[in-house]
Structure 1
Amino acid sequence: MIALIGSEGPLTVALTQALRHRGEASMTCALGVETVLEPASGPVTFRLEHLGTLLRHLRDRGVEAVCFAGGIARPQVDPSRIDAATMPLVPRLLAALGKGDDGALRVALGIFEEAGFVVRAAHEIAPDLLPAAGVLTAAQPTAQHESDARRAEEVHRLLAAADVGQGVIVRRGQVVAVEAQPGTDFMLRSVRGHADGALFLKAPKRGQDRRADLPVIGVHTVALAQEAGLAAIVLESGGVMVIDRAATVAAADAAGVVLWVREPDA
């Protein structure tokens, strides 16, 4: 059995379906306000202060592998609620909460591996989520889009060393916004009225552990891009998953937004 560590969001649903199609059993475990290891329905929930107890529960349930279905949350840790099984992990958990997303996920992956679990990547479970390189929409990139994509990729590479984010918005060569800890949705909402005609690049950080937090977009991303006035969404080929591709492309076509899966520059 494999445990999907994440919420009951679209990515988790897609992974559950892919595993079921192959005859593999799965269970979902999500960070929550309380730890509920045997729910009557829905996913297992756990507080970070009870991570050690969750690891023991997964072993008892026969779980052999885990997959991180999304980014890592950063809840406030209540020292009074840390249980005995989690106490040995506290120094590493506190260090992880102070790192960037990739640094924090590396710590989390290490904890699960040391507990005896194999870590599987989401895009390996559901490879169809990674579209091939090319323009997916009727609208095609312009020369300005090509120039802005190169500029966005240049800035994205510089940000990778600081473990900041996975997205950059550029308009006519000028950086409008970069994605930080609040995430893609926050960034797209924040540029409304300031990014008409801009291009949004989404890509994994250079050197990040791709077993966790590989970027994901879907219909919701396209809707936010349209509301922000963006003209193009560029995804790094082989590095960004698209949930419900047909619906996402249809939404981009309806919005007149270019959806371009681009090979990164050498």
Structure 2
Amino acid sequence: MGRATALIAGRGALPAHLARALAASGVPFVIAQVEGFEMENPDRLPVETFALERLALLFDLLHERGVSRVVLAGAVTRPRLDPERIDPRTALLLPRILPMLGQGDDAALRAVVALIEEEGVEVVGAGAIAPDLLPAPGVLTEAQPGAADARDAVRAAEIVAALGAADLGQGAVVAQGLCLAVETLPGTDAMLAWVADVAGACRPDPKGARGVFFKAPKPGQDRRVDLPAIGPATVEAAARAGLAGIVIEAGGVLVLDRAETVARADALGLFLWVRPPCGSS
């Protein structure tokens, strides 16, 4: 039996995926869900819900359950804290947390990780729990990227690196060398929906390369937290946007429901390319 693990859960399917992996390995675990950011829970797993205004109570839960390892999994946008709900112990932490909330997602996450580690609990990435979520480099689909797609992927990677340096999004859409959209706070689904509705007419050559959606972590990002993820819904959204395929950075993007994701891509004629990071051999 492995080390007792806590999943600090936000929105999306990732927490349930990790819970299944832990259960299959016989590892005891607890799911602590952030209030207001409910995870997808098709297996009806038991969940403890905590409020960020009472963060100290989460630490009590970790110690009560003998937790020595934590994974942050799922989407949590920066919340509005209710001062009236803050308990005295959590109030002592606020001088460290509040300044970070105004500096961007990376700074806020670093602050949370530091507080957890000070409780003597190790913070690990999702890949440590379910390494199969991080596929090896290669094209996973029947459809293959062409030379124009490869050029668009390079351009998109450059754009995402520049966005990440400013602590913005982790994705971009490029077609025929032109950036059609970048990912911002509304997220991937909103970006791809906009491309589907508006940006299709921006391609200079209607018969040329249809474009790619590229996704990667931010440069210098702590890869234990907030790794980007794709899944079957991402493939469907990319298809609605008229794109040729999806390109993700190897080792930096989680693929949820991989078999179904690849099957959907094959059915829709899209490629899914796990591309080595720029500059790697």
Determine if contact 1:130/1:241 at 8 Å carries over to the other structure: yes
Consecutive unaligned residues in structure 1, runs of 5 or more: 35-39
Q: What pairs up with 1:112-261 in 2 under 5 angstroms?
A: 112-196=116-200, 197-261=210-274
Quote the residue 1:37 is aligned against.
none
Quote the residue 2:40 is aligned against.
none
Q: CA deviation at 1:72?
A: 3.3
Q: CA deviation at 1:27?
A: 1.1
Quote the residue 1:265 is aligned against.
278
The alpha-carbon distance between structure 1 residues 264 and 33, as it changes in their structure 2 partners (threshold 3 A), is closer
Matches of 1:8 and 1:204 in 2, distance apart?
Answer: 19
Quote the residue 2:41 is aligned against.
none
Quote the residue 2:204 is aligned against.
none
C-alpha RMSD of the superposition = 1.8
The alpha-carbon distance between structure 1 residues 191 and 145, as it changes in their structure 2 partners (threshold 3 A), is same
Determine if contact 2:10/2:76 at 8 Å carries over to the other structure: no
Q: CA deviation at 1:59?
A: 1.0
2:108 alignment partner AA: A
Picking from 45, 49, 55, the partner of 2:53 is 49
Determine if contact 1:70/1:212 at 8 Å carries over to the other structure: no
Matches of 2:27 and 2:236 in 1, distance apart?
Answer: 34
Matches of 1:240 and 1:171 in 2, distance apart?
Answer: 21
Matches of 2:192 and 2:108 in 1, distance apart?
Answer: 24
Q: CA deviation at 1:264?
A: 2.1
Q: CA deviation at 1:228?
A: 1.7
Moved more, 175-184 or 189-198: 189-198
1:85 alignment partner AA: R
Q: CA deviation at 1:41?
A: 6.9
- For residue 86 of structure 1, give the secondary structure of its aligned residue in structure 2: helix
Q: Does 1:31 align with 2:44?
A: no
Moved more, 88-97 or 164-173: 88-97
Determine if contact 1:72/1:105 at 8 Å carries over to the other structure: no
Matches of 2:160 and 2:190 in 1, distance apart?
Answer: 18
The alpha-carbon distance between structure 1 residues 142 and 52, as it changes in their structure 2 partners (threshold 3 A), is same
Q: CA deviation at 1:195?
A: 4.2
Residue by residue, what CA displacement relative to the aligned partner does 1:12-53 show, whole Å, maximum 9, x if unpaired? 12211211222111111111159xxxxx97311111101111
Quote the residue 2:92 is aligned against.
88
Q: What pairs up with 1:73-84 in 2 under 5 angstroms?
A: 73-84=77-88
Matches of 1:263 and 1:240 in 2, distance apart?
Answer: 11
Q: Number of residues paired by the alignment?
A: 261
The alpha-carbon distance between structure 1 residues 189 and 3, as it changes in their structure 2 partners (threshold 3 A), is same
- For residue 103 of structure 1, give the secondary structure of its aligned residue in structure 2: helix
Quote the residue 2:203 is aligned against.
none
Identity of aligned residues (%): 51
TM-score scaled to structure 2, two decimals? 0.88
Matches of 1:85 and 1:188 in 2, distance apart?
Answer: 42
Moved more, 173-182 or 88-97: 88-97
Quote the residue 2:207 is aligned against.
none
Consecutive unaligned residues in structure 2, runs of 5 or more: 38-43, 201-209
Q: Does 1:21 align with 2:21?
A: no
Residue by residue, what CA displacement relative to the aligned partner does 1:163-203 show, whole Å, maximum 9, x if unpaired? 11110111111111111122212211222233442210011
- For residue 265 of structure 1, give the secondary structure of its aligned residue in structure 2: coil
Moved more, 255-264 or 183-192: 183-192
Matches of 2:163 and 2:132 in 1, distance apart?
Answer: 28
